[in-house]
Amino acid sequence: MADPILQLKQINKSFGPVHVLHDIDFSVYPGEVTALVGDNGAGKSTLVKCVAGIYGIDSGEMLWEGKPVHVHDPRSASALGIKFVYQDLALADNLDITQNMFLGREIRKFGFLSDGEMESKAREVLTGLNVRTVSSVRQVVASLSGGQRQTVAIAKAVLGESRVVFLDEPTAALGVAQTRQVLDLVRRLADQGLGVVLISHNMNDVMEVADRVAALYLGKIAAEVFAKDSSTAQIVELITAGRSGDIGLSTATANEVM
């Protein structure tokens, strides 16, 4: 088994008197999809924002390829190779696919935009991800479907030196066919060696593409299980009660974090 690319050890985060994250241990492995699941208010967004450097952690440490790192802001997370695709996608509707993928990191030569090179690289990334739903990298984003927009946002995230990608509810509000396209893309990212973190409420999606599932319960990791050895019912129980059978938090521990 490969060593994790990203590790969080004993992460704690509070906002005033409210203790949101309790001693979180979480790992992301190359070539695997790890689903991060939990009910609303379980701490998923806070955990992701700590990884992104938006929130500072109160205690604990983050390891990158086994070495301690300090992520102070999203730029330093990106420099490591940690990328994020949030639900709002952060795409500009009035720009085309190439312009969106290079927005804020345009390639310039002699002071001028190297439009042809950016277009070539955008096409190369989409081809490498085996994306067939986009006919031209010069399509304006406003003309794209929800699934195509999600694809562009993911391609934008993995453009360059990406090692870990966090995807926040990538199939939310998508139809059946578009969901299929996005899930296939998520799996291909992992197959290409990236560590993928899938944040989702859709247990069907989770069970289909995830290798591991980490269930958050009231700010604490209730359990991490292999998807192939688990079931939707077990994961739902971990999310809602913090325990399923002999797996998960003890009753005393679950009560401590309530």
Residues 87 and 249: their CA atoms lie apart, in Å, by 30
pLDDT score at 66: 94
For 67-103, the pLDDT digits (tens) are: 999 999 999 999 999 999 988 888 999 999 999 999 9
In single-letter form, the type of residue at position 248 comes to G
Residue 145: which domain range? 93-151
- Domain count within the chain: 2
Do 142 and 224 belong together in one domain? Answer: no
Domain end marker among 126, 151, 176: 151
Do 140 and 43 belong together in one domain? Answer: no
Take residue 86 and report the two structure tokens written for it.
């949030």
Residues 186 and 194: their CA atoms lie apart, in Å, by 10
The DSSP 8-state label assigned to residue 2 in this structure reads P
Do 252 and 137 belong together in one domain? Answer: no
Buried b (16+ CB within 10 A) or exposed e, 55-87: bebeebebbbeeeeeebeebeebbebbbbbbbe
- Of 9-23, 30-44, 59-73, 109-123, the one with minimum mean pLDDT is 109-123
Domain end marker among 105, 120, 151: 151
For 191-234, the pLDDT digits (tens) are: 999 999 999 999 999 999 999 999 999 999 999 999 999 999 99
Residues 61 and 95: their CA atoms lie apart, in Å, by 39
For 121-131, the pLDDT digits (tens) are: 999 999 988 88
- The vertex-38 CA angle with 29 and 249, nearest 5°, equals 85
Q: Please state the φ and ψ torsions of residue 175, each to the nearest 5 degrees.
A: -75, 180
Asked whether residue 156 is domain-assigned, the answer is: no
Mean pLDDT, the chain, integer:
92
Nearest to 189, CA basis, from 49, 30, 46 = 30
In single-letter form, the type of residue at position 213 comes to V
34 DSSP β-pair partners: 197, 212
Asked whether residue 211 is domain-assigned, the answer is: yes
Nearest to 232, CA basis, from 244, 222, 221 = 244
Do 138 and 34 belong together in one domain? Answer: no
